[in-house]
């Protein structure tokens, strides 16, 4: 990958993060026009989508006009052959395929062009830099990429999300990174080990959490264990980093210079699903793509850091994990977490919806006597899900998912698909 092209992309995105709101909008409008013309001319799926809607790319003159186009779901793309969804503008073999199994269990293959990969790397570097990382500093990454060669010349060292916390602690103390980056679950396990054992642990200058929603309790634990400022980032395997925190910690800045993010009301009108149009991805464009994540808009106006990029307050969970009730109501996962976090003595928990009216709450409790805790948890589920719901409370020491899988605070196991 050309160093010059990489440096140019980083320079471009380092500048555009500071644009004022009008300039960001102008940038989005210009890039959107290029994207739509490209998709219409070279991607059969989008050409058909436009034609069926009676629109041409010229009809979409602003980011707001995008809502005239239908939303595209992953399920739709999964059902189509590659030549329908991949741009014919790229020679076969020039695109890099990345396959994820995802929560649906059906493998989904993205095709990334080289300029997009440079942008994705630059967005990652931008988030690292915001957390205080600089080239030449030591960075330890706890990711699923541990099989990749460590970029030692960069001062980067990979550890595996499947490593036991004791091993991660050894690596942390041996490598002494300036910045620690990792998926939330192994970071939390490492932090628990440090706090509970009182072991000597190296203190990095900053810790960056990714891959799973970071709840307040875990954030406090990380802060306590590492004595560092904690930054969270939000991204998708389909398009890389989408939002990241600055030192103000007042919401996540949306990477509006590379992505148009719509907060689309859900069927019940109470929540917003995140629908995204990636402005960099040309090999396999994603236009009004239903991410399946629920999000809450953040504070408006310019942030204390100087960025005017719009903000996301938090990701509430996945659309699939919103809880569908027998009476047809859906409840955002966040309502369960808000209520349960008020119950004293619970250090960690998970809500599983096994069936339409059957819930299991798995909890780790600091108290020996669970009578009061169980009564409160039962009352919370009854309050949210109705009196007919049955609730089982289980006290468990280890709530972690199998290695390599994401922990979801609220998990609905009802079989259904995400719809627009
Ligand atoms: Zn900011």
- CATH number for 71: 3.40.50.12780
Mean pLDDT within 262-280: 89
Mean pLDDT within 384-401: 89
Cα(148) to centroid of ligand 1, in Å? 32
Please indicate, yes or no, if residue 178 is contained in any of the structural domains.
Answer: no
**How much of the chain exceeds pLDDT 90, in percent?**
67
Q: Are residues 45 and 110 in the same domain?
A: yes
Mean pLDDT within 153-182: 93
> How long a stretch of residues is the chain?
420
Cα(258) to centroid of ligand 1, in Å? 17
Q: Which of these three, 318, 349, 375, is where a domain ends? A: 318
Cα(231) to centroid of ligand 1, in Å? 12
Alpha helices in 151-200 (DSSP H): 165-175, 184-197
C-alpha span between 302 and 307 (Å, rounded): 6
- Select the more confidently predicted residue: 342 or 313: 313
Cα(42) to centroid of ligand 1, in Å? 37
- Select the more confidently predicted residue: 243 or 354: 243
pLDDT digits 0-9 by tens, 180-233: 999 888 899 899 999 999 999 999 999 999 988 888 888 999 999 999 999 999
C-alpha span between 365 and 363 (Å, rounded): 6
Cα(293) to centroid of ligand 1, in Å? 22
CA separation (Å) from 89 to 16, 29, 49, 84, 113?
27, 22, 19, 13, 10
Residue 1 has pLDDT above 80, yes or no: no
Q: Are residues 332 and 401 in the same domain?
A: yes
Mean pLDDT of the chain: 90
Cα(5) to centroid of ligand 1, in Å? 27
Cα(250) to centroid of ligand 1, in Å? 7
Domain count of the fold of the chain: 2
Q: Are residues 305 and 347 in the same domain?
A: no
Cα(272) to centroid of ligand 1, in Å? 22
Cα(308) to centroid of ligand 1, in Å? 8
pLDDT value of position 97:
92
**H helices then E strands: how many in the chain?**
11, 19
Q: Are residues 387 and 270 in the same domain?
A: no
> Of 414, 363, 419, whose CA–CA distance to 393 is shortest?
363
**Strands in 154-258 per DSSP E:** 156-160, 179-183, 206-210, 229-236, 240-245, 252-254
- Select the more confidently predicted residue: 407 or 283: 283
Cα(19) to centroid of ligand 1, in Å? 13
Q: Are residues 63 and 123 in the same domain?
A: yes
Q: Are residues 327 and 312 in the same domain?
A: no
Please indicate, yes or no, if residue 154 is contained in any of the structural domains.
Answer: no
Residue 104 has pLDDT above 70, yes or no: no
Q: Are residues 60 and 98 in the same domain?
A: yes
Cα(10) to centroid of ligand 1, in Å? 19
**pLDDT class for 150, splitting at 50, 70, 90?**
low
Q: Are residues 401 and 293 in the same domain?
A: no
Q: Are residues 300 and 335 in the same domain?
A: no
Please indicate, yes or no, if residue 123 is contained in any of the structural domains.
Answer: yes
Q: Are residues 90 and 219 in the same domain?
A: yes
Residue with tokens 């409160």, as numbered in its chain: 376
Cα(22) to centroid of ligand 1, in Å? 17
What is the residue range of 367's domain?
A: 323-412
For the chain, the straight-line distance linking the first and the last C-alpha, in angstroms and rounded, comes to 37
Give 388-393 contacts, CB < 8 A, sequence gap 24+.
Answer: 388/326, 388/357, 389/325, 389/357, 389/358, 389/359, 390/357, 390/358, 390/359, 391/359, 391/360, 391/361, 392/358, 392/359, 392/360, 392/361, 393/360, 393/361, 393/363
Please indicate, yes or no, if residue 223 is contained in any of the structural domains.
Answer: yes
Please indicate, yes or no, if residue 161 is contained in any of the structural domains.
Answer: no
Q: Are residues 250 and 339 in the same domain?
A: no
C-alpha span between 4 and 20 (Å, rounded): 27
C-alpha span between 277 and 182 (Å, rounded): 26
The CATH number of the domain holding residue 406 is 3.30.300.30
Q: Which of these three, 271, 293, 318, is where a domain ends? A: 318
Q: Which of these three, 269, 286, 318, is where a domain ends? A: 318
Cα(24) to centroid of ligand 1, in Å? 15
pLDDT digits 0-9 by tens, 8-36: 999 999 999 999 999 999 999 999 999 99
Q: Are residues 220 and 284 in the same domain?
A: yes
Cα(255) to centroid of ligand 1, in Å? 12
Residues 6+ apart with CB under 8 A from 146: 158, 159, 160, 161, 162, 163
> In the structure encoding, which two tokens stand for residue 337, read together?
């977490």
Please indicate, yes or no, if residue 157 is contained in any of the structural domains.
Answer: no
Residue with tokens 């199994």, as numbered in its chain: 101
> Of 95, 124, 48, whose CA–CA distance to 282 is shortest?
95
Please indicate, yes or no, if residue 386 is contained in any of the structural domains.
Answer: yes
pLDDT-wise least confident of 56-70, 102-116, 170-184, 186-200: 102-116
Cα(249) to centroid of ligand 1, in Å? 7
**pLDDT class for 418, splitting at 50, 70, 90?**
very low
Please indicate, yes or no, if residue 384 is contained in any of the structural domains.
Answer: yes
Predicted TM-score (pTM) of the model is 0.83
């Amino acid at each position: 990958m050309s160093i010059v092209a990489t440096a140019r992309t980083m320079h471009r995105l380092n500048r555009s993060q500071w644009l004022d709101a009008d300039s960001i909008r102008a940038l989005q409008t210009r890039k959107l026009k290029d994207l739509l013309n490209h998709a219409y001319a070279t991607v059969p799926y989008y050409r058909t989508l436009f034609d069926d809607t009676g629109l041409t790319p010229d009809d979409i003159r602003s980011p707001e006009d995008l809502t005239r186009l239908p939303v595209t779901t992953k399920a739709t793309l999964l059902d189509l052959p590659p030549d329908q969804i991949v741009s014919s503008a790229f020679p076969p073999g020039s695109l890099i395929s990345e396959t994820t199994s995802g929560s649906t269990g059906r493998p989904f293959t993205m095709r990334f062009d080289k300029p997009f990969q440079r942008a994705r790397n630059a967005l990652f570097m931008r988030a690292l830099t915001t957390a205080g990382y600089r080239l030449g500093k030591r960075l330890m990454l706890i990711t699923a990429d541990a099989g990749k060669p460590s970029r030692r010349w960069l001062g980067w060292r990979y550890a595996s999300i499947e490593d036991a916390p004791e091993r991660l602690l050894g690596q942390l103390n041996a490598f002494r990174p300036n910045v620690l980056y990792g998926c939330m679950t192994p970071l939390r396990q490492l932090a628990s080990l440090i706090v509970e054992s009182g072991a000597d642990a190296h203190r990095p200058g900053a810790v960056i959490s990714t891959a799973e929603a970071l709840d307040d309790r875990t954030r406090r634990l990380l802060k306590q264990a590492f004595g560092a400022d904690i930054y969270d980032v939000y991204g998708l395997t389909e398009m890389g980093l989408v939002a990241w925190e600055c030192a103000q910690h007042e919401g996540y800045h949306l990477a509006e210079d590379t992505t148009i993010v719509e907060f689309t009301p859900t069927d019940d009108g109470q929540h917003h699903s995140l629908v995204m149009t990636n402005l960099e991805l040309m090999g396999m464009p994603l236009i009004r793509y239903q991410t399946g994540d629920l999000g809450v808009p953040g504070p408006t106006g310019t942030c204390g850091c100087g960025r005017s990029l719009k903000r996301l307050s938090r990701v509430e969970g996945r659309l699939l994990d919103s809880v569908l009730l027998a009476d047809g109501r859906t409840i955002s996962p966040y309502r369960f977490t808000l209520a349960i976090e008020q119950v004293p003595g619970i250090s960690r928990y998970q809500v599983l919806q096994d069936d339409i009216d059957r819930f299991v709450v798995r909890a780790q409790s600091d108290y020996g006597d669970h009578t009061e805790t169980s009564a409160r948890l039962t009352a919370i589920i009854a309050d949210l899900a109705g009196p007919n719901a049955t609730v089982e409370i289980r006290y468990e020491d280890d709530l972690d998912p199998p290695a390599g899988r994401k922990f979801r605070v609220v998990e609905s196991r009802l079989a259904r698909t995400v719809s627009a």
